[in-house]
Amino acid sequence: MLSSFNTHSAFIKCKTTLVIQVSGLCLFAWLCQWAAHSVHSIIPGSVIGLGVLLLLLSCHWIPEKVVNQGSAWLIGDLLLFFIPPVVAITKYKLILESYGAELIVCMLLASASVLLGTAFIVDKLFKFERKQRLNSITAQRLQLRTTLLNI
Amino acid sequence: MNGSLLGALCLLLTLAGYYFSKRLYLRRQRVWFAPIIMAPTIILLTVVIFQIPLADYFQFTHWLPALLAPATIAFAVPIYRERALIKRYPLTISVGVLAGLCLGVGSSWLILHFTHMPSELSKSLIVRSVSTPFAIEATSAFGGIPELTAMLVLVTGIMGMLICDPLFKAANIKSSLARGISLGASAHGAGAAKANQIGREEGVIASLTMIFTGIAMVITAPLFALLF
């Protein structure tokens, strides 16, 4: 009985923390958007907020646990937040019906080229960096051996 | 039916559809049950079949997209947590982000110039390879429409998830960094989820790349917009 009460209260405590953290992040986002709007910033308030929060975390001015749960929920359920805009495409039904096939083919080709192009560049760079590191290690060993032989 | 009752039902439908597909995907890991495919399909079909007016649908659901701004800010936490990984591969990550960004915008530029799609559609395509909160912020710089952008971002994510395996095999891409970075840069959230299935390092690197590409897109959008 007591243990079920404990799990129950732990559950409530966990949910309350989540709600408080999410509300805090919302308030912070609203403040950043307001600030960005009032100085006519080109960079949107949410990205400025991201930078500010990262700075606050890096300087240990706010501990990670203060935003941990809230940020995990916001990022984890990101898809939920853009379902309403997706539903709004019913407004553009006519355009999508007439250009749908063309759109799908173009997007497939474009996505494949971005995926392959990026993977190819990173793969080459990664191999180059690894080779450089190996070369420097071999050079160090050679130098060490010559020094040891000279002694 | 009473407008606000219908509105409340729509909110319930959106929440239930989303959490139901999330639960189902946790139990049966089939790609068709993935929340990114199943949840929008269920909800969109219900709205179309029952011919629910958009004004009623948005009456209570309009606060959901408002959470995209705090979600963008929340991305600071994974960046902070994975700072060690970023310090280990600074060059590879930044070149990967830059390559993904340029290829994404470049491929859209080609589509815009060589097809005859209406401009609001092709302009909404430009930011398709970055995560939704960033894409919606950046699309106005190019003259895109946020709703179309949200849909195109979603479709891009699904495509990236489905085509990555055969492409990696064909091009013989084996390093975890190349797989993670390219998935994050081309297919954002869905790509990061797919990368997580490949391996832990791939997943983390894909999420980081997704965030950095999104930030870079938002910051460079006014510059790129001069090209279009």
Query: Quick check: B115 and A106 CB within 8 A?
Result: yes
pLDDT value, residue B119: 85
Whole-number Å distance between alpha carbons of B183 and B189: 9
Q: What is the DSSP letter of B32?
A: G
Does B20 contact chain A (CB < 8 Å)?
Answer: no
pLDDT value, residue B1: 60
Q: Count other Cβ atoms within 10 Å, centred on residue B186.
A: 36
Q: pLDDT (tens digit, 9 = 90+) per residue, B91-103?
A: 889 999 999 999 9
Q: What are the Cα distances from residue B112, in Å, to A69, B121, B124, B223? A: 42, 9, 10, 17
Query: Quick check: A46 and B137 CB within 8 A?
Result: yes
Percent of all residues in chain B with a pLDDT value above 90, rounded to a whole number: 45
Q: Which residues of A touch B74 (CB under 8 A)?
A: 25, 67, 70-71, 74-75
| For B138, nearest residue in chain A (alpha carbons) | A44
Residue type, A103: L
| Residue B19 confidence (pLDDT) above 90 | yes
pLDDT value, residue A7: 78
Whole-number Å distance between alpha carbons of B146 and B125: 10
| For B218, nearest residue in chain A (alpha carbons) | A43
| For B214, nearest residue in chain A (alpha carbons) | A47
Q: pLDDT (tens digit, 9 = 90+) per residue, A33-65?
A: 999 999 998 888 999 999 999 999 999 999 999
What is chain B's mean pLDDT, rounded? 89
| Residue B111 confidence (pLDDT) above 70 | yes
Confidence grade of residue B112 (pLDDT, cut at 50, 70, 90): confident
Calculate mean pLDDT across residues B61-70: 89
Whole-number Å distance between alpha carbons of A148 and A141: 10
Closest CB to B67: pick one of A74, A121, A125. Answer: A74
The pairs formed by A23-31 with CB atoms below 8 angstroms and a separation of 24 or more are: A24/A66, A24/A67, A24/A70, A25/A67, A25/A70, A25/A71, A25/A74, A25/B70, A25/B73, A25/B74, A26/B67, A26/B70, A28/A53, A28/B70, A28/B73, A29/B69, A29/B70, A29/B72, A29/B73, A30/B69
Confidence grade of residue A1 (pLDDT, cut at 50, 70, 90): low
The pairs formed by B189-196 with CB atoms below 8 angstroms and a separation of 24 or more are: B189/A78, B189/A79, B189/B36, B189/B131, B189/B132, B189/B157, B190/B34, B190/B36, B190/B157, B190/B158, B190/B160, B190/B161, B191/B157, B191/B160, B191/B161, B191/B164, B193/B34, B193/B36, B193/B161, B194/B160, B194/B161, B194/B164
Query: Quick check: A86 and B134 CB within 8 A?
Result: no
Q: How far is B118 from chain A (nearest CA, A)?
A: 8
Calculate mean pLDDT across residues B122-142: 89
Closest CB to A99: pick one of B17, B117, B160. Answer: B117
Cβ B189 vs Cβ A138: under 8 Å:
no
pLDDT value, residue B34: 85
Whole-number Å distance between alpha carbons of A80 and B171: 34
pLDDT value, residue A52: 95
Does A3 contact chain B (CB < 8 Å)?
Answer: no
Q: Count other Cβ atoms within 10 Å, centred on residue B42.
A: 18
Cβ A98 vs Cβ B116: under 8 Å:
no
pLDDT value, residue B88: 85
Q: pLDDT (tens digit, 9 = 90+) per residue, A83-141?
A: 888 888 888 888 888 888 889 999 999 999 999 999 999 999 888 877 887 888 888 88
Closest CB to A25: pick one of B70, B80, B92. Answer: B70
Residues 179-198 of B with CB under 8 A from A: 179, 181-183, 185-187, 189
Confidence grade of residue A4 (pLDDT, cut at 50, 70, 90): low
Q: Which residues of A touch B65 (CB under 8 A)?
A: 81-82, 84-85
Cβ B195 vs Cβ B205: under 8 Å:
yes
Q: What is the DSSP letter of B131?
A: -
Q: By 3-state DSSP, what share of chain B in percent is helix, strand and coil, each rounded to 5?
A: 85, 0, 15
Closest CB to A47: pick one of B18, B44, B218. Answer: B218
Angle between helices B132-142 and B200-225 (to 10 degrees): 20
Least confident of A68-72, A130-134, B25-29, B98-102: A130-134
pLDDT value, residue B149: 92
The half-sphere exposure of A45 on its side-chain side, counting CA atoms within 13 A, is 19
Q: Which residues make Cβ contacts (< 8 Å) with residue B1, sequence separation at least 6?
A: none
Q: Which residues of A touch B88 (CB under 8 A)?
A: none
Calculate mean pLDDT across residues B182-188: 92
What is the token pair recorded at A91?
């407004």
Q: Which residues of A touch B118 (CB under 8 A)?
A: 95, 99
Could you tell me where the DSSP H helices lie in chain A? 2-38, 45-58, 68-76, 78-81, 83-87, 93-150
Does A76 contact chain B (CB < 8 Å)?
Answer: no
Closest CB to B71: pick one of A67, A74, A107. Answer: A74
Whole-number Å distance between alpha carbons of A81 and B68: 6
Residues 70-109 of B with CB under 8 A from A: 70-81, 83, 91-92, 95-96, 99-100, 103-104, 107-108
Q: Which residues of A touch B99 (CB under 8 A)?
A: 117-118, 121-122
Task: With H, G, I as helix, E, B as strand and everything else as coil, classify residue B35.
Answer: helix
Query: Domain map of chain B by residue range?
Result: 3-64, 74-227
